[in-house]
Amino acid sequence: MASSPNALRASDQTLMTRTQKGDCEAFAQLYDRHAVRAFRVARAICEDTGRAEDAVQEGFLAIWNSRAQFHAGNGSFQAWAMRIVKNRAIDSYRAAAVRPPTQASGSPAEASDAVSKSAQDQVVARSESDALLTSLRKLPDAQAEVIALAFFGELSHSEIAAQLELPAGTVKGRMRLGLEKLRKEMETPT
């Protein structure tokens, strides 16, 4: 009986052990295995393909540089890697400069008022987004991932289920639990 390709496929733990010893090929296999999912997570948060690609690249560079800090007893490689990429994506989202639109017509006073109102709206929106992202960081990765894909990626439950290769009921359950935790967090006075 011939071995199937999946039987020969090394586990993440085995690849990470090799990576910790400096094995670039093992790290490349980990990247190939997890880059698509990492991009989905980053894209949902960054709302921009270029920034999401940068977040994935920076995340995997950080994984390589901090590979000695990974301990399998603390969780899976995938959860650790997605957390690092998610944090890079959040940093990228926060760092992105939001510029108010310029107006082609009207008096300078009208343009100044419009820019001022636009800036105020952007500050409020940014503050709300930052508060949501801070709260998302406190959720378990599985719950934060589905919420980020729904709200930042504007995906439906079925689209999230297809992307994450999960049953729709699992996505809905994670979403419900995560939203309950977010609601409690947002209602708690600081």
What average pLDDT does this structure show over 124-142? 72
Counting Cα atoms < 13 Å in the Cβ hemisphere of 169 gives 0
pLDDT value at residue 179: 84
Of 68, 96, 124, which residue sits at a domain end?
Answer: 96
* Residue range 155-174, pLDDT digits in tens: 778 878 877 788 888 888 88
Let me know whether 90 and 116 are in one domain. no
Domain that holds residue 23: 10-96
The phi, psi pair for 166, rounded to 5°, reads -125, 155
Let me know whether 14 and 59 are in one domain. yes
pTM over 0.85: no
In Å, what is the CA distance from 178 to each residue of 117, 144, 147, 171, 190?
33, 7, 7, 10, 20
* Residue range 9-53, pLDDT digits in tens: 789 999 999 999 999 999 999 999 999 989 988 988 888 888 899
Let me know whether 60 and 128 are in one domain. no
Cα–Cα distance, 161 to 169 (Å, whole number): 9
Let me know whether 15 and 91 are in one domain. yes
Number of domains in the chain: 2
